[in-house]
Amino acid sequence: MLDLAIAAEELTRVDVNVPTTLLATGLGLQPVIQHGSPEQKERLLRPFADDPEGDLLASYAFTDVAGGANFDSADPAGGMQTIARRDGGEWVITGQKHYTTNGTGWDKKGCELYTVVCRTDPAAGADDALAVIAVPGATPGITVADVYDKIGHRGVITPRVHFDEVRVPAANLIGQPGRTGKRIVTGAFSWTAALIGAACVGTMRAAFEYALGFTRSETRLGTVPVIEHQNVGFMLADIKMRIEACRYLTWKACHDFERSGGRAEELAIMTKVYCSEAAVDTVYDCMRVVGIASYTKELAPLEKIMRDAVVFPLYDGGNQGVRRRQLHDIFRHPGYDSMLAARGEGLPEDQ
């Protein structure tokens, strides 16, 4: 994960779209990687490992059209409305998902593999029925209904995908429904939470490097470069400290998450919240350094960087609807110790 974080930062400094597409494929495969049986890993991951071009796409079909923040609702009237019913040796899945990044595949006919978050019983809540099922993209009943037109991440395809009586073998269920299903969902999101910190750092770097170059070369009708002014220098110092803090928070979160086998989730979630919100603040501060030119498409790249950055707190489990609630739940556990994150540990196994 740390290797991937370093690569993601360098890629995102240049363009956010390619690393986001790679990250989304990683997210789609995480349920299999973290919780799949040996047979499932061989069958479902082998095509990605052996593909000579490396261009197979996976998609995490998590968010229902009505939302995803309360995916873990104990009340069966809420929670996931994508339902999988058992029919002999098959699961039959029906529901509508949106923000299924990579879900179009390259030809708008579907990706290589979806991991679909659903419930296996419409009359049961998440504690008993939440599940993740692997669905090959060529399975009949999958339709790419629409592609969202976003203000940023323009090269990342974000479709709405319908599953209409989609039949897959019963062996495609990852783990078991219920509490195990909840762990699978949160584990996948914790993996990507840590790595989004790297995307945020790369984005902040791009903005900072442009602003720094601007202040070194521009006088703005003055007699010395803008960087010679104390208020500009102090703003740049604050920006740079923020970038460094986010980088090392990301690296520790990735290291601890992998070393602990995915149990050290607290710092990963904090990384997503802190770095994503810091990225928006940082890009805006860089725009303030540059001034009104930063608001134009012709004179500066910062407007595009801001359009890409502003989604970081909103996607991949929104900071308000999902991530802070995850932290709240961790703090409420009787086995919680405030030094768990510092030590790189997770909650006790029985929690």
Q: Which residues pair with 159 in a beta bridge?
A: 147
Question: pLDDT category, 203, cuts 50, 70, 90?
Answer: very high
Cβ neighbours of residue 148 closer than 8 Å, sequence gap 6 or more: 98, 99, 158, 159, 160
- Residues 72-117: pLDDT tens digits? 999 999 999 999 999 999 999 999 999 999 999 998 888 999 999 9
Whether 316 is catalytic: yes
CATH fold label, 18-176 = Butyryl-CoA Dehydrogenase, subunit A; domain 2 (2.40.110)
- What letter represents residue 332's amino acid? R
Q: Where are any strands of DSSP class E within the chain?
A: 58-61, 83-87, 90-98, 113-119, 130-136, 142-147, 159-169, 173-174
Domain boundaries, the chain: 18-176, 182-343
For the chain, helix, strand, coil in percent to 5 are 50, 15, 35
Residue 200 pLDDT:
98
CATH fold label, 182-343 = Butyryl-CoA Dehydrogenase, subunit A; domain 3 (1.20.140)
- Residues 151-166: pLDDT tens digits? 999 999 999 999 999 9
pTM of the entire structure? 0.94
Cβ neighbours of residue 294 closer than 8 Å, sequence gap 6 or more: 286, 287, 288, 300, 302, 303
CA 276 to chain centre: 11
Return the structure tokens found at 112: 């290589």
Residue 351 pLDDT:
42
How large is the average pLDDT for residues 232-259? Answer: 98
- CA torsion, ordered 32, 34, 40, 46, to nearest 10 deg: 70
Q: Which of 3, 146, 316, 337 is catalytic?
A: 316
* 8 Å CB contact between 118 and 82: yes
